[in-house]
A and B are shown apart, each in its own frame.
Chain A
Amino acid sequence: MNALLLVRALRDPDGVAALDDGGDGAGWNALIAMARAERLIGTLALRIGDRLVPQAVAPILADARLDAEREARQALWEADRAAEAIAPLGLPVVLLKGTAYAAAGLVAGQGRFIGDLDILVPRPSMQAVEQCLLRAGWEWVKDDPYDDAYYRQWMHELPPMIHAGRDRMIDVHHTVLPVTARQRPDAAAMIGDAVPITNELYILSPEDRLCHAVAHLLADGDLAGGLRNLWDIHCLLEGLDPVALDERAARHGIRPHVRQARRLAAALYGDGARLTFWDRIVVARLLARDGWGRERRKLLRFAFYLRSHWLRMPPAMLARHLFTKWRKGHRPA
């Protein structure tokens, strides 16, 4: 069994009526465990809505909907607090990912799990933003000098900070991919074209929202949580003009990635698409989850983990980085 069960339920929530067929709870148990593991239970609950489900399932979905509501409320409050902290600088604060979707009331935000607060600010302002946040009660999470230096020199964000009182993390980005990655998205253009949603808070333009989600899923990272990110992409694609999107993607240097993301989203959540060999490998990785919520296909996962490092930095630098981390006792999960 793989996560196709979850993908189908998201694509066609009417189909969940047939899950009960065995009468042994197995279908629902698998779907719920997968959805929780992929952090899509809130999205699933909202997709299923008030369709008829077994008596034992209804409260599980109701809990997930309430949790999602709370997530959104907390995320928006956190954004408000960050905006307040940074206000003296008079900067546009651009919300990214989950918080942005919730703040703008986008379909992608409905039921979405929101972990950290991600914001984008102009690179020259990073230090000033950092000082503002430190004054307002955020503090460092990483106490390792190598990690700290690594973030500052090579990453697209400050080392993560956590608010001492509210226990919520903030990631302050100056662009959307590590500076060592092969693609160089035009962060200045993203900030320039951002759309205001309140006096201080902005979100990216529709095309840039999609480009960011794609860069995050396919040009960075090891596809952990990829089904959720692909669901974002599926929702964000709705209503976008393919030509304008293509142009924007080219500007950010990720046109092939955006095209692949469109194929993957159509194949899993939409009306289908013709997939390349490489697409099929990515799909296999995305679906590597069983009915107990366990990760499957360890080797494939590990290959994607290696690839994520390969994408992030040139080979000599990668070797040095891995050696340093290994000496510090880090082992891939």
Chain B
Amino acid sequence: MNHALSLKIGPATFRIGSAWRQPVEALARLYADYPDAAGKVADFTVRLEPAGLFRRWLRPSIFITGDHGLADAAPMSLTHGLLAAEMGMNLQMALGWRRHLLLHAASVERDGQALVMTGESGSGKSTLAAQLGERGWRLMGDEFALLDLATGDVLPFPRLVSLKNRAIDVLAAEAPAPRMGPLLAATAKGDIRHLVPRSDAVRRMGQGARPALLLFPRFGHAAAVRGVGQGEVFMRLTQASTNYVALGEPGFAALTRFVRSVPARAIDFPSGEEAIAMVDRLWEELA
């Protein structure tokens, strides 16, 4: 394709091709400190193509596809090209990754142990993980946690953190400006800005950690902590996994081990500060 770039994030290598220069340039800038993947064989190909016959030039809009794609994916404006590239990579992972049990979850590490947080979009897990990543924890990823089928460890997938709406200002106040991406205003998910994880997160992206605590965060409610039974945890994690069914028995075994060995709590919180205090307390108590 006209413009191309290869990236390695955690265990996965991507080859991204684009009909336009801008998305590739934006990626190259934000992923500059990631290991060089040029000339490597990629696990996945991502393509950012014109969404129609004249859409390369005229009201340019992007159709996101690649090795794996969704026929009915909505086209995106070229001004949101960086987001399109990120979504293209996520799409490949969600539909094609088979080497680990993939959980739609954020994770952070401290002292060799991992805190895993899962929940719907808007639950606050991404923001919370990003904040913890600025305050002494190692960010392992805000979108996917990879559960190793053999060891049971959680492996990082530290792509750019995708900050939405109010979370943008929260993190812009904590992280230095050079690590913040451009503001992508009025996307389908609202305003978005990407945050480059701290250099330790990138440098140690091959290092896993033993999962020690699972949280189901929920932003926007009065502070509360609730125990979650293993049956419920199991069901919620099967729903949070895009490849649980595809992996078959090894996926079941890995998830069963995770559910049996990792304590789980649901936490409601009204603010980030309160969430961080709750996390510290629960980590002290349970991990």
Interface class of chain B by DSSP: loop
When the two chains form their complex, are residues A29 and B67 in contact, meaning their CB atoms are under 8 A apart? no
Q: Pick out which of these stretches binds chain B: A51-59, A102-110, A140-148, A266-274.
A: A51-59
A200 in the interface, Cβ–Cβ < 8 Å?
no
Q: Are A25 and B42 in contact (CB under 8 A)?
A: yes
B98 with A56: CB separation less than 8 A: no
A202 to B68 alpha-carbon distance, docked (Å): 34
Q: Are A28 and B246 in contact (CB under 8 A)?
A: no
Q: Are B45 and A292 in contact (CB under 8 A)?
A: yes
| Residues of B close to A164: CB separation below 8 A | none
Interface of A is mostly: helix
Nearest chain B residue, comparing its CB with the CB of A28 = B41
Q: Are B41 and A54 in contact (CB under 8 A)?
A: yes
A23 within 8 A of B: yes
**Quick check: is B77 within 8 A (CB to CB) of the other chain?**
no
Q: Which residue of A lies closest to B99 (CB)?
A: A59
Q: A277-326: which have CB < 8 Å to B?
A: 292-294
Q: Is the CB of A292 within 8 A of B1?
A: yes
B243: shortest Cβ distance to chain A, in Å? 10
Q: Name the CB-closest residue of B to A26.
A: B39
Give a binary string over B228-256; 1 marks a CB under 8 Å from any A CB, 0 the rest: 00000000000000000010100000000
A49-91 residues with Cβ-Cβ distance < 8 A to B are 54, 56-57, 59-60, 63, 66-67, 70
A56: B residues at CB distance < 8 A: 13, 40-43
Q: How far is the CB of A53 from chain B (nearest CB, A)?
A: 9
Closest-by-CB residue of A relative to B1 is A292
Quick one: which of B41, B42, B49, B66 has the most chain A CB within 10 A?
B41
Q: Tell whether B158 is near chain A: CB-to-CB under 8 Å.
A: no
* Chain A proximity of B164: nearest CB distance (Å): 30
What is the CB-to-nearest-CB distance from B283 to chain A, in angstroms, rounded to a whole number?
A: 34
Residue B104 lies at the interface, judged by CB distance under 8 Å to chain A:
no
- Interface size of B by CB at 8 A reads 20
**Could you tell me the distance between the alpha carbons of A70 and B248 in the complex, rounded to whole angstroms?**
8
Is A36's CB within 8 Å of the partner chain B?
yes
How far is B39's CA from A32's CA once the two chains are assembled, in angstroms? Answer: 15
B42 — which chain A residues lie within 8 A by C-beta? 25, 29, 32, 56
Partner of A33, one of B40, B49, B67, B246: B67
Does B17 count as interface, using CB distance less than 8 angstroms? yes
State whether B47 touches A23 (Cβ < 8 A).
no
Interface flag for B15 (CB, 8 Å): yes
Instruction: Report the Cα distance A294→B41, complex, angstroms.
Output: 18
Is there contact, CB below 8 Å, between A292 and B41? Answer: no
A21 at the interface (CB under 8 A from B): no
Tell me if A24 counts as interface (CB < 8 A to partner B).
Answer: yes
Known A56-B13, A67-B98; judge A33-B45 contact (CB<8 A): yes
Q: Which 4 A-B pairs have the closest CB atoms?
A: A56-B41, A24-B39, A63-B98, A25-B41
Can you list 24 A-B pairs, Cβ within 8 angstroms, ordered by A? A23-B39, A24-B39, A25-B6, A25-B39, A25-B42, A29-B15, A29-B41, A29-B42, A32-B41, A33-B67, A36-B68, A37-B67, A56-B40, A56-B41, A56-B42, A57-B41, A59-B43, A67-B246, A292-B1, A292-B17, A293-B45, A293-B47, A293-B66, A293-B67
Given contacts A66-B98, A70-B246, A293-B45, 11 further A-B contacts (CB under 8 A): A23-B39, A25-B39, A25-B40, A28-B41, A29-B42, A32-B41, A33-B67, A54-B41, A60-B43, A67-B246, A293-B47
